[in-house]
Amino acid sequence: MVQFFKNLVKNKVMLFMVLPGAIWFFFFSYLPLVGTIVAFKQYRFSREGFWASIAKSEWVGWKNFKFLFTTDDAFIITRNTLLYNIAFIFLGLVLSVAMAILLSELVSKRMAKIYQTGMFLPYFLSWVIVGYFAFSFLSLDRGMLNQILGWFGAEPIQWYSEAKYWPYILILVNLWKAVGYSSVVYLASIMGIDKSLYEAAMIDGASKWQQIRSITIPMLSPIIIIMTLLAVGRIFYADFGLFYQVPRDSGTLYSVTNVIDTYVYRGLKTTGEIGMSTAAGLYQSVVGFVLVMVSNFVVRKIDKDSALF
């Protein structure tokens, strides 16, 4: 015990630096874990408060989870959530790494910062604003794309009624918004690579592509694996704003835009069943945890130093 307090005093500066983050995690990540009991209850709010409402609510066991698995839309929302996230992870990784490498190769650092800022800016736009941007392009009457089609004599397309276009639109919009932010992590890693490695490669006559293939990408592999593992942990989560705001909640597009998060939201609006939404969140968290553990176990078997933990 004495040694414990000595360590606290010795590391007090570092502990104070960690304190704000620890407080945030306690209140927003650990304390809400107690509320997961709502997933197993028929929650009914009363004026006596949240905890009294939980205590008085009827215990229903796994009934709330059937909301996700027994509905006719269960296959569609699960398929959409998984396939979109797989596309986001793979394409986002490739484009983010490529963008980081291109920025690192720019001779003018001022231009590199201008390009980086331009790509970083979309990340800070809310999905409501992005939804209006998309509408300005896809509107039937005044949309820019339909005007361009009109110049070539083509008929305008009712984008918000044609489901076949939306997998490509959603993937494109997501990449436009996220790639600039994701590339910052890889760009920082590239900046930390020992420059003498590139100098030695140049002396040996290696081309720029050979330097990227033999030095940059192998040196980036640990951070690529870590970022991919973290993304796999959220593969059953969908960005609600992307799938709700950008398609403007068009019912004709539900077959390709409806994911677990939007389905639960609409169900919550219709039925008011808080227990069902809590069950969905718990299901997503448990599956994400299992996927991270399994993926990390596989990585440890292949390369122990590249594992997340």
CA distance 91 to 111: 25
| Structural domain spans, the chain | 40-70, 72-306
At position 115, the amino acid (one-letter code) is: Y
pLDDT tens, residue order, the chain (309 aa): 677 778 878 888 888 898 898 999 899 888 888 888 888 888 877 766 667 777 778 888 888 888 777 777 788 888 999 999 999 999 999 999 999 998 888 877 788 778 878 888 889 999 999 999 999 999 888 888 888 888 888 888 899 999 999 999 999 999 999 998 889 889 889 988 888 988 898 988 888 889 999 999 999 988 998 888 888 888 888 889 999 999 998 889 999 999 988 988 887 887 777 888 888 888 888 888 888 888 888 888 877 777 777
Q: Pull the structure tokens for residue 26.
A: 């306690």
Q: Does the domain at residues 72-306 carry the CATH identifier 1.10.3720.10?
A: yes
Q: What is the pTM of this model?
A: 0.85
Could you identify the residue written with the tokens 């989870």? 65
CA distance 144 to 136: 7
